[in-house]
Amino acid sequence: GAGVSQSPRYKVTKRGQDVALRCDPISGHVSLYWYRQALGQGPEFLTYFNYEAQQDKSGLPNDRFSAERPEGSISTLTIQRTEQRDSAMYRCASSRTTTSYEQYFGPGTRLTVT
Amino acid sequence: RKEVEQDPGPFNVPEGATVAFNCTYSNSASQSFFWYRQDCRKEPKLLMSVYSSGNEDGRFTAQLNRASQYISLLIRDSKLSDSATYLCVVLVSGGYNKLIFGAGTRLAVHP
């Protein structure tokens, strides 16, 4: 079946613009996670959802970052007033249940802020 | 100090070699441990879970030492296709599925 999909795959934006990154999890997966991955580093946890409820947003760097999953399926990560330091690969993952340890990652969105 | 620390490598080994990666974690309350594999420019994928008693999956063996807060991965009879970055991953306790990733150890297997 289809895996986790993310769009856009690449996004170049100017400093100060808002961006919205989309994640479409594997069908039926109830938990969804957002990570940020810098070059040469492992993924860094940002936030996660069980169904439509945001369970933990402790990893969001500041209040310019927000995420939602209004219907418990597709999720959007929004970054307002982007800064150059926001440039990174943003990865989404999903898991089948709220207690599944295996997370399936999407291909990521490469964000470049100029 | 990082929550999960790994030697970044790279480890350059010939085909057929045995190679071992180590990882340490700082949170003694961590409850579950994993190794993920990430190929160049691809997404991470679960390689194997790590159990207290140690576990093996084909050529791969994972060990956990809770007292020393140390995790290892041993790869026997290395193949060219094993070339990748190996990420040590710890599940934060508290009932939430919050995974903490190490920075990864890069392995390059050459003919």
Each residue of B48-105: pLDDT tens digit?
A: 999 888 899 999 999 999 999 999 999 999 999 999 999 999 987 665 678 999 999 9
What is the pLDDT confidence band of residue A101, given thresholds at 50, 70 and 90? confident
Q: Which of B111, B58, B110, B107 is closest to B83 using CA atoms?
A: B107
| DSSP symbols for A62-108 | STTEEEE-TTSS-EEEEE-S--GGG-EEEEEEEESSTT----EE---
According to the model, what pLDDT value does residue A1 have? 60
Reading the block at residue A33, the tokens are 């996670």
Q: Which of B32, B39, B40, B36 is closest to B48 using CA atoms?
A: B36
According to the model, what pLDDT value does residue A94 have? 96
Distance in angstroms (rounded) separating the CA atoms of residues A8 and A97: 26
* Percent of chain A's residues with pLDDT above 90: 90
Q: In terms of C-beta density within 10 A (0-12 exposed, 13-18 middle, 19 or more buried), how is residue A67 classed?
A: buried
Distance in angstroms (rounded) separating the CA atoms of residues B38 and B88: 11
Cis link prior to A8 (omega < 30° from 0)?
Answer: yes
Each residue of A47-99: pLDDT tens digit?
A: 999 999 999 999 999 999 999 999 999 999 999 999 999 999 999 999 999 88
A42 contacts B103? CB cut-off 8 A: yes
Q: Which of A35, A42, A95 sits opposite B104 (nearest CB)?
A: A42
A114: β partners: none
Q: Which of A42, A95, A98 sits opposite B101 (nearest CB)?
A: A42
Q: Which of A55, A101, A104 sits opposite B91 (nearest CB)?
A: A101
Q: Is A55 on the interface with B (CB under 8 A)?
A: yes
Each residue of A3-40: pLDDT tens digit?
A: 999 999 999 999 999 999 999 999 999 999 999 999 99
- CA angle, residues A40, B104, A56, in degrees to nearest 5: 90
Pairing outcome for strands B60-65 and B55-57:
antiparallel
- Set of chain B residues whose Cβ sits within 8 Å of the Cβ of A102: 46
Alpha carbon of A60 to those of A33, A44, A67, B107: distances in Å? 12, 10, 9, 31
Model confidence at B111: pLDDT above 70: yes
B43 contacts A107? CB cut-off 8 A: yes
Q: Which of A99, A100, A108 sits opposite B43 (nearest CB)?
A: A108
- Set of chain A residues whose Cβ sits within 8 Å of the Cβ of B98: 45, 48, 56
Reading the block at residue B45, the tokens are 């994928």
Residues 71-110 of A with CB under 8 A from B: 91, 95, 98-108
According to the model, what pLDDT value does residue B98 have? 83
According to the model, what pLDDT value does residue B96 have? 64
Q: Are B47 and B88 in contact (CB under 8 A)?
A: no
* Through-space distance between the first and last CA atoms of chain B, rounded to whole angstroms: 37
Q: Is A56 on the interface with B (CB under 8 A)?
A: yes
